[in-house]
Structures are given as C-alpha cells and as structure tokens.
Amino acid sequence: MALTRPEKATDEKADMEGPMNIASLPGPWGRIWLGTTPKGLCGVSLRGGRAMLEAKARAWGLAVQDDPRANQRAIEQLREYFEGKREGFDLALDLRGTRFQLRVWRALQAIPFGETRSYKDIAFQVGHPTAFRAVGQANGSNPIPIVIPCHRVLRSDGGLGGFSSGVDIKARLLAMEAARRKG
C-alpha cells in the first residue's frame, strides 16, 4: 500500500489560496471531521469537531465551505481503513509546521501498518537522537492523525504515551491494527 505523500509541505506562515473545504464521516467513536485545501488534506479532527478545523482556517486566513466532494477521496480511504480494507493512504497533503515537525511527520509515515516505534526511534530517524521530547511534541501537533499515523509511536518502555485525541482512541487504533495484522 502506498504511503501518504506530502505535497509541497510548507512553513506555517506560508500564504494559502482557496478555501478550506470541510466534511465529515461517521467513525467508530463518533464523527470524524476533515479539512482540505486545494493543495490537499490539511486536517483530521477526531474529537475537536468542526470547530477545530474552523479555527485552523481562521488562523490561516482561509474561508470555510462545506464541500464533501473536495474531501471524497479522504472520506473513502478512511472508510476503507476502518472497514479493514486499507492499511495506508494515498492522499495529497497540505502540511504546515516547522522544519522539525515536517521531518517528524514524514518519519511517522514510514511506520508500517500494525507496527510501532518509540519516540526515541523517531528522534534517531530524524537525526536528533536526544530530542525524543520534541518528537513527542511534534507528534502531538500532527494535524492529520490516522493518515499520518502518530498513534503508532509509543514510549520507550512500551507505554502508550499521549495522543491528541485521547489515549483511549490510540489504544483502540493500535488494537485494531494489531488484530488485522495477525488475521
């Protein structure tokens, strides 16, 4: 399965054109909200709802519009993921963050379905072996959870660590992936 490809990842302060198109789909624990710009998927809200995406659009100076068609590909791929028919994503992304965050998010995309890495592993992978706490912060700032699989990163002792949408959802995602990998 193809990894998600970041298309023209930019710095947070980069200018954007076009609106943020918002749509949602039912998920295993409630509605999942998606935000897409003309450059690609820019937000997945598992618990913050539509309001989180609207706040992001305001911060970026973007208009908001409801347009499920603009999010159709992401909706289909997330549905397939939850139905057990997909292990990775092939979507254009509009990522905004610091250079360090972008490197961490790219490293997260390389973690195979059903596997985990530690924050320390990712710190080594991005060339900053002592920056495991910064990796945790970048992980927590991931704007596109599930698609960029930050839930696959654990503490060095095997503990779950944190998850911006709640450790309970992280545990469910990991259990779902582990069960599919075994089956």
Verify whether residue 150 is a known catalytic residue.
yes
Per-residue model confidence (pLDDT) at position 65: 94
List 150, 153, 169, 173, catalytic entry = 150
Q: What are the structural domains of the chain?
A: 5-93 (3.30.160.70), 99-182 (1.10.10.10)
Per-residue model confidence (pLDDT) at position 183: 64
Which residue type sits at 74? A
User: What does the H/E/C string look like for 115-161?
Assistant: CCEEHHHHHHHCCCCCCHHHHHHHHHCCCCECCECHHHEECCCCCCC
Residue corresponding to tokens 């989180």 = 52
CA–CA gap between residue 104 and residue 119 (Å, rounded): 10
Per-residue model confidence (pLDDT) at position 2: 35
Per-residue model confidence (pLDDT) at position 18: 84
More confident residue, 13 or 100: 100
CA–CA gap between residue 62 and residue 55 (Å, rounded): 10
Q: Rounded mean pLDDT of 30-37? A: 95
Per-residue model confidence (pLDDT) at position 133: 93
Digit-coded pLDDT (tens) for 63-111: 999 998 999 999 999 999 999 999 999 999 999 999 999 999 999 999 9
Backbone angles phi, psi at 104, to 5 degrees: -65, -45
